[in-house]
Amino acid sequence: MRKTNLLWITALIVVVVGSVAGTALYIKAFSKERLMISTTTSLFDTGLLDLIETQFESEYPIDLNFISVGTGLAITHAQRGDADLILVHSPTQETHFLVQGYGLCRKIIAYNYFAIIGPNEDPAKINGLTDTSQALSKIVEAGRNQQASWMSRGDDSGTHTKEKQLWAEADYNWTQIRNEDWYQETGTGMGGTLKTANQFQAYTLTDMGTYLAYYKEGIINLKPHVTQAEQLLNVYSAIVTNKTLHHNVNFDGAITFIKYLVSAEGQQIIADYGKSEYGQSLFHPAVTLLKENTDPTTAQWIKDYAYFDGNECPPQYWNDHPELYQ
């Protein structure tokens, strides 16, 4: 009995001392300069940001913290002042975010392409098409004949926003087709949607990074059928939270990080990422391309898709940082 009590008391002391010491450690750790970045899952889940974090932190005394959420929640975090910077891929939502006064200093950092993937047998016969509208109408046709189905993210993410645009371009009313039997919404992230689409052998829209990771691990066997079309362009931007709305925003830290992302070093990390693991780059750097017009066709696609008022960030949102745009 006495021995048992002694054990309990020892355990209690260990727990109390451990708890207090650990908590003190946290408080100390968080007094360091912290930069909170809310990011779209497609950038985070590939592991690219982990690599950028390691490189950046070895050169700057700033502690980077990435919160991986959809574009929708990333924007909410910034609006509420809980993130200093957002990394997103939804130009229409971004424009809205700037115009409403929540964001400043938008900078396009990278691009890649979405892909329409589906079962290997390709019941809708879309493989190799270069026009997404044509591919989607074939999927609708096959779907209505009960030969194919479509799995949507259904979560207001950047990918979901893109999907809705593609339906609109193909002259379909999204609010109408989402009620049809062949159209299903998962309401989960890209990973969950890929797994569900694979289970039902459905077609879906995906970013290539997440797709390749899942395909390589053998979790899914769906194949890309439509890729590299202008309509499938996917452009990633960084936007700083407006410091006049939220005084706790680490504005200078955010600018330092954007400058790193668009620097030669940052752009090189983006260009190389994925080559060794997947045999191809997952993201393409956008800064030199847009500045020096090295690939006029792609540059024009990016401008048509992701610029507004003819600029990646109109001057009224530069906030005394014109050097970002020179």
Partner 1 sequence: MSEILEITLRTIHISATATLLATLWSIPIGSLIALKNFPTKQLIKSIFNALMGMPTVALGLILYLLLSSSGPLGSVNILFTPLAIIIGQALLITPILISLTTNALETIDPEIKDLARTLGASETETSLTILAEAKAGVVLALIASFTRAFAELGVALSVGANLRGGTRILTTAIAMEVQRGQIQHSLTLTAILLTIVFATTITTNLIQTRRRT
Nearer to partner 1, 140 or 240 (CB): 240
Asked if 24 interacts with partner 1 (CB under 8 A), we say: no
155, exposed or middle or buried, with CB in 10 Å at 0-12, 13-18, 19+? Answer: buried
Both structure tokens of 160: 């979901």
User: Is residue 272 a contact point for partner 1 (CB under 8 A)?
Assistant: no
Which residues is 236 bridged to in the sheet?
Answer: 110
Vertex 137: Cα angle to 131 and 143 (nearest 5): 135
Q: How far is the CB of 34 from partner 1 (least distance, A)?
A: 8
Among 246, 259, 284, 321, binds partner 1 (CB under 8 A): 246
User: What's the angle, vertex CA 187, arms to CA 182 and CA 189, rounded to 5?
Assistant: 115
The beta strand positions in the chain, using DSSP E, are: 34-40, 63-69, 85-88, 103-118, 150-152, 183-185, 203-207, 223-227, 233-241, 284-285
Residue number, 29 or 99, with CB nearest to partner 1: 29
d(CA 255, CA 70): 22
Site map for partner 1, 54-93, x if CB under 8 A?
-----------xxxx----------xxxx-----------
Q: Which stretch binds partner 1 (CB under 8 A): 88-96, 108-116, 178-186, 208-216?
A: 208-216
Site residues (CB under 8 A) for partner 1, limited to 170-189: 189
Of 79 and 132, CB closest to partner 1: 79
Cβ of residue 18: shortest distance to partner 1, in angstroms?
A: 6
Question: Is position 322 an interface residue for partner 1 (rule: CB under 8 A)?
Answer: no
Count the neighbouring beta carbons within 10 Å of the beta carbon of residue 222.
Answer: 22
In angstroms, rounded to a whole number, what is the distance separating the alpha carbons of residues 194 and 213?
A: 11
Cα separation of 302 and 284, whole Å?
12
Taken as a whole, the chain contains a residue count of: 326
Pick 26 or 59: Cβ nearer partner 1: 26
Assess 51 for contact with partner 1 (CB under 8 A): no
Task: Compute the least distance from the CB of residue 149 to partner 1, in Å.
Answer: 22
**232 in Cβ contact with 114 (< 8 Å):** yes
- Contact residue for partner 1 among 219, 265, 277, 304 (CB under 8 A): 219
- Determine the interface stretch with partner 1 among 20-28, 124-132, 144-152, 197-205 (rule: CB under 8 A): 20-28
Name the one range near partner 1 by CB under 8 A: 44-52, 170-178, 276-284, 301-309.
Answer: 44-52
Residues 107-126 that bind partner 1 (CB under 8 A): none
Q: Which amino acid belongs to residue 289?
A: L
Q: Which is nearer to partner 1, 15 or 99 (CB)?
A: 15
Classify burial at 181, counting beta carbons within 10 Å of its beta carbon; exposed 0-12, middle 13-18, buried 19 or more. exposed
Alpha carbon 117 to chain centroid, angstroms = 18
Binding site for partner 1 (CB under 8 A): 1, 3-4, 7-8, 11, 15-16, 18-19, 22-23, 26-27, 29-30, 36, 41, 45-47, 50, 53, 65-68, 79-82, 189-192, 210, 213-214, 216-217, 219, 246, 248
